[in-house]
Amino acid sequence: MKYCYFHPHRPQYFFPLDFTKHQVFLSFYQPYTNFGKLSWGLFRNLAWYRRLFSINNIEKFIPETKIRKIIGEDVIMAFNTGTPGPEQKITGLGWEAEDYFFIKYGVSTLAQSNVNNEYIILDQLGQLDFVPKILDFHQSSLGTLLKTDVLQGDRLANSVLDKSILKCLYSLAELNINTIKNYKTDKISVFAHGDFCPWNIMKKNGKLLVYDWEMAGTYPLGYDLFTFIFQTNFLLEPKKSIELTFSVNTDIIDKYFNYFNIKNWYEYLMSFCNLKIQLAKANNNDDLLNYYLKIKNIV
């Protein structure tokens, strides 16, 4: 199958040449910067432009042969190589039998563990209407692959916390879920998504839809809230000061912890920072490490 790739200078997303016929494929990439919006606009709207970046064999970037041995040879697919590193996974959107599906595929030990964790979590969340439904799960020498249905809605365009997000955070923290990832501390620990950021959330008719549950587990209370506030701002608004991020969000942090009858949430922010520092060190992410060290010093 022939693909076109995006970005032109750093291939990460691979689409079938006629992918614009599929509305779901158009939602696979979400630009957050002005440059990204311009590049995506050209790629999405100009067929001749896409053909400049076409490729017949993507095995250098995507283990397509192995993946297709699991999902089928004739499925129409779009792929994302994911973020390089020990946790790197391939994700994809597929079209088969008049329906769409999503896959997440891992080969490394850590990547397979995370895909397996997502399967375990989604299996327990199956009764909820704001999470993907499992279609298939495969684990063999080929790797670990999770196949789900596709959540369709509008991705969050910013990091503004509103009532619907806060309500979702309350609900998640009150779920009783058996988890493999356990990051308990001496503070109250609850179930959390683990990577609760705008790029993992959609809205449809005012209702939140949440996906990418591979990091879900037991965390200190407020972990998802603080991730949404601080990690999102770090990645999307790196020039925004930590002090400003604090001042803008203090009231809603108060509201969240008051819901759980906790007044001193700074202790929970410290637990959050300590855990983020631990994870950043494990992943050799110096930028994120320094960011959370700064927050900890301010606290």
Phi-psi region at 96: left, alpha or beta (left = phi > 0; alpha = psi -120 to 50): beta
Residue 267's pLDDT is 96
Secondary structure string (H, E, C) spanning the chain: CCEEEECCCCCCEEEECCHHHCHHHHCCCCCCCHHHHHHHHHHHHCHHHHHCCEECCCCCCCCHHHHHHHHCCCCEEEEECCCCCCCCCEEEEEEECCEEEEEEEECCHHHHHHHHHHHHHHHHCCCCCCCCCEEEEEEECCEEEEEECCCCCEECCCCCCCHHHHHHHHHHHCCCCCCCCECCCCCCEEEECCCCCHHHEEEECCEEEECCCCCCEEEECCHHHHHHHHHHHHHHCCCCCHHHHHHHHHHHHHHHHHHCCCCCCHHHHHHHHHHHHHHHHHCCCHHHHHHHHHHHHHC
Q: Which domains does the chain have, with CATH numbers?
A: 3-148 (no CATH), 154-298 (1.10.510)
Asked if pLDDT for residue 270 goes beyond 90, the answer is yes
pLDDT digits (tens, 9 = 90+) for 142-173: 999 999 999 988 888 777 788 899 999 999 99
How does residue 236 score in pLDDT terms, banded at 50, 70 and 90?
Answer: confident
How high is the mean pLDDT of the chain?
93
pLDDT digits (tens, 9 = 90+) for 104-135: 999 999 999 999 999 999 999 998 999 999 99
Asked if pLDDT for residue 32 goes beyond 90, the answer is no
pLDDT digits (tens, 9 = 90+) for 167-193: 999 999 999 999 999 998 889 999 999
Distance CA 59, CA 128 (A): 37
Residue 8's pLDDT is 84
Whether pTM > 0.85 for this model: the answer is yes
Which of these ranges, 29-38, 71-80, 188-197, has the smallest mean pLDDT? 29-38
Q: Between these two residues, 210 and 161, which has the higher pLDDT value?
A: 210
Residue 27's pLDDT is 87
Residue 31's pLDDT is 84
Residue 233's pLDDT is 87
* Percentage of the chain lying above the pLDDT 70 cut: 100
Residue 252's pLDDT is 94
Residue 34's pLDDT is 84
Residue 81's pLDDT is 96
Asked if pLDDT for residue 261 goes beyond 90, the answer is yes
Mean pLDDT of 12-37: 89
Mean pLDDT of 273-284: 92
